[in-house]
């Protein structure tokens, strides 16, 4: 009998695949085949059948916990660990009335003995215009130039090969950018500075500025429907190309597990707030701050505790003193041979006596995927339960929850009576976060309109999510095709929501975007949202210039909601005459006339006008109002004229002095990101092997099974229809359990069948 001690498997890594492969090899030995099969079955319950990270993006072993320190990162090598490029970030923002100018400085310090190329994925405001790149090397400052994207990449690659220092800034999404810095020498520090122009946001009597600091990991679904391109040679063979996230590698970075790694990328923030009116309350919801007040309308804001980890967005809000919020603002800027204008007008609100509210049909959609684990799911559930409590008896509603599966609480919208509301609140309260984020089918289900025959209901979709997906365009296409009479209101949840997805989806859905970053904000922010949902919108808006020829954005003015300002930007041939804005507030006509000559000096208006025109072209392409080629032509021309980074243009800076000696190799250092604050690493990337939990606990952790388990604790709750299983691409404990169960059954069959044969004999 051959012994099995010498079995070896070459070239198999010690991840889940390696362990299982060794067990399979052991099963080949007759002596322990049966027991090996049983062992393999048990192992499948514990071992992930696919690694959480690919070989290109190792995460769990990046840093030894015992050697962790803020801002440091250790990469595993054959001889042990070596410290990688360190990154520090400084954000300096100046607010000038309705606009803000942000200067983001990234400090790359190479602490290794190698020449390296550092790459870093980082966020910028989705409505911002990135227009400046500077690279500082020693005492030299190299200013970047705007180029078409492919040309900029070719220039950068050539400089990298020739040993020169180079920096490249590319847009992957309007709120996700990447910087690549080539040929950083041993012990050397290189600074890369990006400047961004952005608008200030206003909602009701509150103004706000948001500084995004971390890109949350994105769920990138696999292709579901593929388009096939058959070859013209008649062979019958072809290729299928329908990846919903074709650039998934560009928006994905290593993410550190906060349980075993210290935070990285320390960030310093300074805001110089010049509001243009006397200030009242100024506060930061998520960071402790110190403030100086040089005068009544100015504040100098700094982080109270010094640099902080880049793991959550920074938000600053301010109000006017004595609640005297300005309702009209008019600003101008002269650049080149043109004048640029921005107008901010808040329409008046109707009194309650003048309102004629119509009954509403509201479909609530809540994301309970893995990225919503931790504090995010608590915020989402609290927000939805609050929203259910605001429904009126004559309203109708439904609730949809989704991860990589989907459940409709009711087959169709039901009356908002106490029985249905109690069932809905119990259903929502039982939700747990797990699984992938298949958002498109949930949006399709929400927009599928049963169509009340008399059309007397106002139909609204309230969608609560962190937006952590990479296939945003699929969602936009869905809204554009199916919105019908529905209006889509996006509620962004968590410390680092995908604000690009939220704002674009709300724009296409003719709704609004509300952000809730903590449980403390739930009631305040949801109250503001319902003020919009429950009050008439301002419709039929138009703007007419009396004398000037204007290129205005948006070309077709959307409806605005209670407390929201109408924001217009225009390029004018001359700044004379007036602009008259008309519309209807509820059933009443409304108008206001603004004299252009009285506009105050503004900053960066030309950049913001161009950025909004680019967004208009993207929306028109999604709505199929223009062809993709027309959209690209418009975007490219605007980007080159106004020196802006877009999906078609990039900024590149080249130091002409050769730096890396010929023959010295260049190593890639892909800098990792922190996990956004409040997220649960295991919910996003999968659990590590651990002792098997009791059956009830296992079910409580397994996707929508947790819904049914928790519902069993509430006898009054009636189970909804069975979940719809959606395409799944994420690692899941349930898959491991199922595989283990199948293998155990095979092992038992191997035992039972020989015994039956012996019995027959």
Q: Judge whether 704 lies within some domain.
A: no
Query: By C-alpha distance, which of 4, 11, 44 is closest to 25?
Result: 4
Q: Are 185 and 659 in contact (CB under 8 A)?
A: yes
pLDDT at 224: 57
- Looking at the structure, tell me whether residues 253 and 198 fall in a common domain: yes
Q: What is the CATH number of the domain that holds 384?
A: 3.40.50.410
131 and 209 assigned to the same domain: yes
Last residue of a domain, one of 466, 485, 518: 518
Domain identity same for 478 and 589: no
In a domain, 488, yes or no: yes
CB 423 within 8 A of CB 716: yes
3-class SS of residue 448? coil
The domain tally of the chain equals: 4
**SS3 (DSSP) at 440:** helix
Q: What is the pLDDT of residues 105-136, one digit of tens each?
A: 999 999 999 999 999 999 999 999 999 999 99
Positive or negative: CA dihedral 218, 224, 229, 235: positive
Widest pairwise Cα distance in the chain = 106
- Is residue 639 classed exposed, middle or buried when 0-12, 13-18 and 19+ CB atoms within 10 A define those classes? buried
Q: Residues, the chain, total?
A: 761
Q: Which residues are within 8 A (CB) of 676 and not within 5 positions of it... i.e. 6 or more apart?
A: 214, 216, 311, 312, 494, 495, 496
Cα 369 from Cα 694, distance rounded (Å): 23
Q: Give the integer Cα–Cα distance in Å for 623 and 14.
A: 49
155 lies in the same domain as 299: yes
| Parallel/antiparallel/unpaired status of strands 396-402 and 724-725 | unpaired
Write down the pLDDT at residue 741: 57
**Does one domain contain both 271 and 165?**
yes
Task: Give domain status of residue 708, yes or no.
Answer: no
Q: CB 293: neighbour CB atoms within 10 A? A: 12
What residues contact residue 253 under an 8 Å CB cut-off, 6+ apart? Answer: 57, 120, 121, 215, 670, 671, 672, 673
Please report whether residue 476 resides in a domain: yes
Q: Is residue 713 part of a domain?
A: no
Could you report the per-residue pLDDT of 506-559, keeping only the tens digit for each? 999 999 999 999 999 999 999 999 999 988 789 999 999 999 999 999 988 999
How far apart CA 359 and CA 691 sit, in angstroms, is: 52
- Report angle CA 201, 625, 440 to the nearest 5 degrees: 65
**Residue ranges in 288-373 assigned as alpha helix (H):** none
**41 lies in the same domain as 105:** no
Rounded to 5 degrees, what angle do the CA atoms 725, 728, 731 make?
A: 125
Do 309 and 336 lie in one domain? The reply is: no
Q: What is the pLDDT of residues 265-315, one digit of tens each?
A: 999 999 999 999 999 999 999 999 999 999 999 999 999 999 999 999 999
What tokens does 369 get?
Answer: 């995927």
The neighbour count for residue 125, using CB atoms within 10 Å, is 23
pTM > 0.75: yes
Q: Which residues pair with 580 in a beta bridge?
A: 544, 593
Output the pLDDT for position 307: 95
Same domain, residue pair 490 and 574:
no
Per-residue confidence (pLDDT) for residue 85, from 0 to 100: 86
Residue 287's pLDDT is 96
Distance CA 124, CA 132 (A): 13
Closest Cα to residue 73, out of 496, 665, 667, 669? 669
E strands present in 110-163: 115-123, 129-137, 140-143, 145-148
Query: Do 459 and 488 lie in a common domain?
Result: yes
Is 694 among the domain residues? no
Contacts of 726 (CB under 8 A, 6+ apart): 402, 404, 405, 406, 436, 438, 441
Residues 651 and 623 both lie in one domain: no
| CA–CA separation, 503 and 519 (whole Å) | 22
Please, is 272 exposed, middle or buried when counting C-beta atoms within 10 Å of its C-beta (0-12, 13-18, 19+)?
middle
Q: How far apart are CA 72 and CA 81, in angstroms?
A: 12
- For residue 398, which phi and psi values (nearest 5 degrees)? -150, 165
Coil, strand or helix at 392? coil
On whether both 479 and 543 belong to a single domain, the answer is no
Asked if residues 158 and 233 have their Cβ atoms less than 8 Å apart, the reply is no
With residue 639 as reference, give the H or E element that holds it.
helix 628-642
Side-chain-side CA neighbours of 481 within 13 Å: the count stands at 10
- Cα radius of gyration (the chain): 29
* 3-state secondary structure at position 666: strand
Q: Pull the structure tokens for residue 680.
A: 């649960």
Tell me which residues of the chain have a pLDDT lower than 70: 1-84, 223-242, 351-355, 451-454, 687-761
Distance (Å, whole) CA 135 – CA 149: 19
Rounded distance, CA 327 to CA 590, Å? 14
Q: How much is the pLDDT for 242?
A: 66
Domain of 5?
Answer: 1-50+747-761
Would you list the DSSP string of 218-277? PB-PPPSS--EEE-TTSSS-EEE---S-TTGGGS---EE-TTTS---SEEEEEEEEE-SS
DSSP 560: B
Tell me, yes or no, whether 598 and 615 share the same domain: yes
Q: Could you tell me if 297 and 97 are in contact, meaning their C-beta atoms sit under 8 angstroms apart? A: no
- H/E run at residue 422: helix 418-429
| Nearest Cα residue to 417 out of 391, 398, 393, 436 | 393
Q: What is the CATH number of the domain that holds 635?
A: 2.60.40
Report helix, strand or coil for 476: helix
Residue 229 located in a structural domain: no
- On whether residue 725 sits in a domain, the answer given is no
List phi, psi (to 5°) of 17: -65, -40
The sign of the torsion formed by the CA atoms of 690, 696, 697, 700 equals: positive
Which pLDDT value is given to residue 586? Answer: 82
How many whole angstroms separate alpha carbon 631 and alpha carbon 617? Answer: 5
Which is it for the CA torsion 557, 636, 671, 103, positive or negative? negative
Two tokens, residue 350:
């109707």
């Amino acid at each position: 009998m051959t012994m099995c001690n010498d079995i070896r498997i070459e070239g198999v890594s010690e991840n889940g695949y390696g362990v299982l492969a060794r067990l399979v090899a052991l099963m080949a030995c007759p002596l322990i085949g049966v027991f090996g099969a049983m062992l393999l079955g048990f192992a499948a319950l514990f071992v992930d059948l696919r690694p959480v990270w690919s070989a290109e993006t190792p995460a769990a072993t990046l840093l030894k916990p015992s050697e962790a320190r803020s801002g440091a990162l250790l990469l595993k090598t054959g001889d042990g660990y070596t410290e990688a490029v360190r990154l520090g970030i400084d954000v300096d923002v100046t607010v000038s009335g309705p606009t803000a100018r942000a200067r983001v400085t990234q400090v790359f310090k190479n602490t290794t003995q190698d020449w390296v190329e550092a790459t870093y994925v980082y966020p910028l405001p989705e409505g911002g215009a990135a227009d400046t790149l500077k690279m500082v090397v020693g005492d030299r400052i190299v200013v970047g130039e705007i180029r078409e994207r492919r040309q900029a990449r070719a220039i950068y690659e050539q400089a990298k090969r020739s040993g020169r220092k180079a920096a490249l800034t590319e847009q992957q999404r309007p709120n996700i950018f990447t910087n690549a810095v080539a040929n950083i020498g041993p012990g050397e520090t290189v600074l890369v500075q990006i400047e961004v122009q952005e608008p200030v946001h206003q909602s009701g009597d509150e103004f706000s500025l948001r500084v995004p600091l971390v890109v949350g990991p994105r769920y990138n679904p696999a292709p579901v429907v593929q388009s096939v391109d058959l070859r013209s040679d008649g062979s019958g063979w072809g290729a299928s190309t329908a990846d919903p996230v074709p650039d998934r590698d560009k928006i994905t970075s290593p993410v550190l597990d906060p349980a075993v790694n210290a935070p990285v990328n320390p960030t310093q923030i300074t805001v110089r707030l010049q509001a243009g009116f006397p200030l009242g309350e100024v506060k930061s919801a998520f960071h402790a701050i110190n403030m100086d007040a040089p005068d009544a309308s100015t504040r100098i804001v700094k982080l109270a505790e010094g640099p902080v980890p880049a793991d959550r967005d920074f938000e600053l809000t301010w109000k006017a003193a004595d609640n005297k919020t300005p309702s009209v603002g008019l600003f101008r800027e002269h650049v080149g041979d043109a004048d640029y204008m921005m107008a901010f007008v808040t329409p008046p609100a109707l009194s309650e006596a003048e309102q004629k509210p119509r009954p509403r049909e509201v479909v609530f959609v809540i994301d309970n995927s893995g990225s919503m684990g931790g504090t995010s799911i608590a915020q989402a559930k609290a927000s939805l339960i609050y929203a259910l409590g605001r429904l009126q008896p004559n309203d109708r509603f439904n609730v949809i929850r989704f991860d990589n599966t989907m459940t409709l609480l009711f087959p169709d919208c039901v009356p908002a009576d106490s029985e249905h509301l109690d069932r809905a609140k119990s259903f929502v309260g039982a939700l747990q976060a797990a699984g992938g984020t298949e958002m498109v089918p949930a949006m399709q289900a929400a927009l599928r309109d049963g169509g009340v025959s008399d059309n007397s209901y106002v139909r609204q979709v309230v969608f609560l999510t962190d937006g952590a997906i990479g296939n945003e365009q699929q969602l936009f296409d869905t809204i554009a095709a199916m919105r019908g009479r529905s209006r889509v209101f996006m509620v962004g949840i968590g410390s680092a929501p995908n604000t690009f997805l939220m704002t674009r989806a709300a724009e296409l859905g003719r709704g609004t975007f509300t952000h809730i970053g903590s449980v403390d904000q739930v009631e305040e922010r949801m109250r503001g949202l319902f003020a919009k949902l429950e009050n008439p919108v301002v419709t039929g808006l138009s703007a007419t210039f009396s004398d000037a020829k204007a290129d205005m954005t948006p070309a077709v003015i959307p409806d605005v909601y209670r407390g929201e300002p109408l924001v217009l930007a225009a390029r004018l041939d001359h700044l004379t005459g007036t602009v008259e804005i008309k519309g209807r507030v509820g059933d009443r006509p409304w108008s206001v006339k603004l004299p252009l000559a009285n506009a105050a000096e503004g900053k960066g208006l030309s950049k913001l006008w161009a950025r909004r025109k680019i967004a208009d072209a993207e929306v028109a392409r999604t709505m199929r109002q223009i062809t993709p080629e027309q959209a690209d032509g418009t975007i490219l021309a605007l980007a080159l004229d106004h020196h802006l980074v877009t999906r078609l243009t990039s900024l590149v800076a080249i130091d002409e002095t050769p730096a890396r000696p010929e023959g010295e190799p260049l190593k890639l250092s892909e800098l990792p990101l922190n996990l956004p604050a409040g997220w649960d690493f295991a919910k996003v990337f999968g659990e590590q092997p651990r002792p098997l939990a009791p059956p009830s606990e296992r079910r409580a952790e397994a996707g929508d099974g947790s819904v049914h388990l928790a519902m069993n604790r509430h006898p009054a709750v009636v189970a909804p229809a069975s979940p719809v299983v959606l395409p799944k691409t994420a690692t899941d404990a349930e898959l491991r359990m199922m595989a283990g169960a199948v293998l155990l059954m095979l092992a038992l069959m191997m035992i039972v069948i020989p015994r039956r044969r012996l019995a027959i004999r």
